[in-house]
Amino acid sequence: MVITILSRSHADRNVYPSAGVLFVHVLEREHFKGEFPPYPKPGDSSNDPITFNTNLMGYPDRPGWLRYIQRTSHSDGVLYGSPTAEHVGKATIIEITAYNRRTFETARHNLVINIMSTEDYPLPYQAEFFIKNMNVEEMLASEVLGDFLGAVKNVWQPERLNAINITSALDRGGRVPLPINNLKEGVYVMVGADVQFSSCLREVENPHNQLRCSQEMEPVISCDKKFRAQFDIDWCKINLVDITKVVTIHSNRPDPGTGVLPDIGEYNPPSESLKSRDFFADFLITLAVPSAVAMVLFTILGYSMCCRREGVDKRNMQTPDIQLVHHSSIQKSTKELRSMSKNREISWPLSTLPVFSQSGEVVPPIHPDNYETTSMPLMQTQTFVISAPGPADEGTLFFTQLLVLQGLVMI
């Protein structure tokens, strides 16, 4: 493991990490405070919020193998990652820009990373642990990482042991923990050694522990007590890889790459003397052609509906005379019946007339005189004028007297 601390000088800082070994570079705020003007009140300059921006020179981001984390503006920043053999012999220049959030001033330094090759790269036996009670910046601290490697070495007993990579659980699809009980996000730590895995590390592979892991129960690991005092390891997520037995599987998936675009030369933008494009032809095709088609269809429809009508005269000429006379008589009878129905007067039923009037005035009926209705009155008053009976009309007199007795005739 390589740990470096940036100095306050403006000169480029050269570091020499090894391929396949974890590289950690701490950006300490104390080394940048001399680059900014002092605060008017003595003793307050140490509280200046300072953030860092890191990028590969000439590019907006860092190389794919290099990560950066700074939890708050009052904490140090950390560059970390694991270079591979592909980057050996290539100088990587990282631009580090410090921002003082109080004075809005900046300071810039360059970090030159010269990746060296190692004879034992890569280590054949690699184990990845998931530590639940640590954040990535806490694990990157030299003291904490040294304690973890010491515990692993005590359990594994290798001749050579190196930290290969550290990854936050959030970068592996984990969830942000709730801000209660001082919960941590968790961190994955991969270490490599030159000897076979110990029996303690392989205990998680036995059927009993595999069953407990499938039931979301903690497996029984004999060497867990050597880690439990400081590190809470999820043994169900331990990953043991023997790269000497790994079979390379060719996949159709594209190589994700390093995250940095290849150097293909300088960018040459288009010339400013480009000829402007004429969109008049596109306008005609887009607007004029559909309009012309719509006009032709409108003309055909108008001709069919207006110019092809036969008319009433032509229809009458083609209709027999007897049919026209019959139709005309039906129309006249219909009109006469309608006019008669409008002018007819129907006396109102007696039940709708007022019985008593307190003022002595005649109360008009509820319905207006021009109210049209098809209902007949409940009972109509029939008036018969009876003259003196003659000798020859005795039958009529008898019938009239009978109606008078029934109250249906007024004399």
CA–CA separation, 12 vs 406, rounded Å? Answer: 136
CB 78 within 8 A of CB 69: yes
Domain, as residue range, for 78? 2-114
Please indicate, yes or no, whether residues 132 and 223 belong to a single structural domain of this protein.
Answer: yes
* pLDDT by 10s per residue, the chain, length 411: 544 444 344 567 889 888 888 999 999 888 887 777 766 665 555 678 889 999 999 898 899 899 999 988 888 899 999 888 888 888 889 999 999 888 888 888 899 999 888 777 778 899 999 999 899 999 998 899 999 999 999 999 888 888 999 999 888 888 888 777 778 889 999 999 988 998 988 998 899 999 999 998 999 988 888 898 889 999 999 999 888 876 544 445 566 556 566 667 777 777 777 777 888 888 888 998 899 999 999 999 988 888 777 777 777 788 888 888 888 899 888 988 888 887 766 565 555 555 554 555 555 555 455 545 444 444 444 444 444 444 445 555 555 554 444 444 444
**Last residue within a domain, chosen from 86, 114, 142:** 114
pLDDT of residue 382: 47
Please indicate, yes or no, whether residues 61 and 81 belong to a single structural domain of this protein.
Answer: yes
CA–CA separation, 139 vs 166, rounded Å? Answer: 8
pLDDT of residue 235: 92
For the chain, state the CA radius of gyration. 53
pLDDT of residue 4: 46
CA–CA separation, 28 vs 30, rounded Å? Answer: 5
Please indicate, yes or no, whether residues 107 and 136 belong to a single structural domain of this protein.
Answer: no
pLDDT of residue 19: 87
CA–CA separation, 112 vs 106, rounded Å? Answer: 20
pLDDT of residue 45: 52
- The helices-and-strands tally (H runs, E runs) of the chain is 9, 12
Instruction: Evaluate whether residue 10 is within a structural domain.
Output: yes
Helix (H) or strand (E) holding 296: helix 289-302
Please indicate, yes or no, whether residues 54 and 130 belong to a single structural domain of this protein.
Answer: no
Which amino acid type is present at position 168?
S
Please indicate, yes or no, whether residues 8 and 54 belong to a single structural domain of this protein.
Answer: yes
Instruction: Evaluate whether residue 352 is within a structural domain.
Output: no
Predicted model pTM: 0.56
Domains identified in the chain, total number? 2
**Last residue within a domain, chosen from 91, 114, 137:** 114
Instruction: Evaluate whether residue 192 is within a structural domain.
Output: yes
Residue 16, C-beta contacts closer than 8 angstroms, at least 6 positions apart: 2, 114, 115, 116
Please indicate, yes or no, whether residues 70 and 153 belong to a single structural domain of this protein.
Answer: no
CA–CA separation, 215 vs 208, rounded Å? Answer: 11
Please indicate, yes or no, whether residues 150 and 201 belong to a single structural domain of this protein.
Answer: yes
Token pair 């005795």 is found at: 394
The CATH number of the domain where 197 resides is what?
Answer: 3.30.70
**Last residue within a domain, chosen from 242, 263, 297:** 242
pLDDT of residue 342: 77
Burial tier of 232 (Cβ tally within 10 Å: 0-12, 13-18, 19+)? middle
CA–CA separation, 126 vs 190, rounded Å? Answer: 7
Please indicate, yes or no, whether residues 104 and 134 belong to a single structural domain of this protein.
Answer: no
Please indicate, yes or no, whether residues 109 and 132 belong to a single structural domain of this protein.
Answer: no
Please indicate, yes or no, whether residues 110 and 137 belong to a single structural domain of this protein.
Answer: no
> Encoding tokens for residue 174?
């984990």
